Amino acid sequence: MSSMYAFCDRLGLSFRFIMRVLASYPSRRVHVKQILEQIYRLGNETVLIILVAGSFIGMVITLQGFTNLAKYGAESEISGLTAYSIYRELAPVLTGILVAGRVGSLLAAEIGMMQINQQFMCLEMLGINANRLILFPRLLAVIVSMPILNTLFCLSAIMSSNVVCTVGLGLPEGMFWNSLQYQTLFMLDFMHGLKKSFVFGIIVAWIALFQGMYTSKDRLGLAHATTTTVVSASLFVLAIDYVITAISGGVMV
């Protein structure tokens, strides 16, 4: 029971934490400068990973799907099928997990280190609002970057799928794009994935920042914070993905 109590307590603590951070919108030029810096650090520098992952996934799904569709004579729809899976599920989830790994661990470690180094207390003594200067910019950076990374993942997957289809499977270029344009809906499929990635961004940033801020100051505190961030964020992404998919299951045609 006491562990249940402790769990609820921590959950409540993290909720109040995120509310505090969300309310800390920038009020000075330095804050805005920080936001841009963080977007660069957390967004731009994750682009390469996302593009590479996207292209591999695109190729794999295409090849995998092709053999299945060939059984039913529906090979021409391969690009539509690939894109459908990518837009709706694979892009947001994989982007979420990759970002949880790279950005999540980075944030948890960085904030945890600052906490251990008494830098937050120092900022308070200097009359500088750490929520606005440090935490909010990072939260916003992740939230802004996630949808962009998701889109880049989709694009990368489609392009690599194109290469596989035209060069490897002998599909005519026109059929590739035709199926793509008919089988996937922008609003219903792509935007669905985009909205998911937005939610995942909030989850990853929340968990990472919270774990960092509340690192225990013992020998293993930082390591624990980092690993917990990556694991919890990844699992949460998968769980929320299930919830969103289940809820919107009835909506799709």
Partner 1 sequence: MEIVRFDQVSLNVCGRTLMDQVSFSMFLGEHIGIIGPSGAGKSTFLKLMLGFLKPSKGKVYLFGQAVSELSDQDLEKLRMDIGMLFQTDALFSEWTVEENIAFPIRYHYDLPEQVTRNLVKLKLDDVGLRGAERLFPRELSGGMARRVALARAVSRDPNFIIYDEPFTGQDPVTKSHLKILMRKFHKEKMSSVIVSHDIKDLSEVVQKMVVIWEGRVMAFGTVDEVMKSDNEVVRHFIDGSSLLTQENSDQDLLTDIMEGC
Partner 2 sequence: MSENRFINAGVGALLLLGIVSTMFIAFFASASDWKDYQGYNLIAKFDESAGLRSRAPVRIAGVQIGEVVSVSLTENYQANVLIRIDSTDLMLATDTSANIYTEGLLGVRYIALSPGFDETLLKHNDSIEQTSSGFVLENLIGQVMVQAGLQDEVTDETR
Using CB under 8 A as the binding rule, whether residue 154 contacts partner 2 is answered as: yes
In angstroms, the CA 86 to CA 190 distance is 9
SS3 state of residue 215: coil
Report the site for partner 2 in 15-54 (rule: CB under 8 A).
33, 36-37, 39-40, 43-44, 47
Residue 82 to residue 217: CA distance in whole angstroms: 47
Is residue 106 within 8 Å of 112, Cβ to Cβ?
no
Calculate the dihedral angle through the C-alpha atoms of 185, 186, 190, 191, rounding to the nearest 10 degrees.
-120
Determine the Cα–Cα distance for residues 247 and 253; give it in Å rounded to an integer.
Answer: 14
* Contacts (Cβ under 8 Å, ≥6 apart) of 220: none
Q: Which 224-253 residues touch partner 2, going by CB under 8 A?
A: 253
Q: Assess 99 for contact with partner 2 (CB under 8 A).
A: no
The rounded distance, in Å, linking the Cα atoms of 253 and 248 is 11
* Binding residues among 11-40 for partner 1 as defined by CB under 8 A: 13, 28, 30
Size of the site for partner 2 (CB under 8 A): 37
Q: Does 217 bind partner 1 (CB under 8 A)?
A: yes
| Phi–psi pair at 55, nearest 5 degrees | -70, -40
Contact in structure between 149 and 197 (CB atoms under 8 Å): yes
Report the residue number, 166 or 178, with the smaller CB distance to partner 2: 178
Q: Which does 235 bind (CB under 5 to 8 A by kind): partner 2, partner 1, none?
A: none
- Answer yes or no: are the C-beta atoms of 106 and 233 closer than 8 Å: no
Picking from 20, 21, 52, the residue whose alpha carbon sits closest to that of residue 142 is: 21
Q: Which does residue 68 bind out of partner 1, partner 2, none, counting CB within 5 to 8 angstroms by kind?
A: none
Q: Which is nearer to partner 1, 73 or 127 (CB)?
A: 127
Decide if 181 contacts 210 (C-beta within 8 A): no
Task: Please say whether the beta carbons of 241 and 89 come within 8 A.
Answer: yes
9 binds partner 1 (CB under 8 A): yes
Residues 157-186 that bind partner 2 (CB under 8 A): 158, 177-178, 180-186
175, interface contact from partner 2, partner 1, none, CB < 5-8 Å by kind? none
Interface segment toward partner 1; rule CB under 8 A; list 49-57, 91-99, 119-127, 204-212: 119-127
Given 17, 56, 198, 214, the residue binding partner 1 (CB under 8 A): 214
> Please, which of residues 141-200 interact with partner 1 by CB under 8 A?
none
Partner from partner 2, partner 1, none binding residue 28, C-beta < 5-8 Å depending on class: partner 1
Q: Binding to partner 1 by residue 228, rule CB under 8 A?
A: no
| 118 forms part of the interface with partner 1 (CB under 8 A) | yes
CA distance linking residue 114 with residue 126, whole number of Å: 15
Q: Which residues bind partner 2 (CB under 8 A)?
A: 33, 36-37, 39-40, 43-44, 47, 72-74, 76-77, 83, 87, 145, 147-148, 151-152, 154-155, 158, 177-178, 180-190, 253
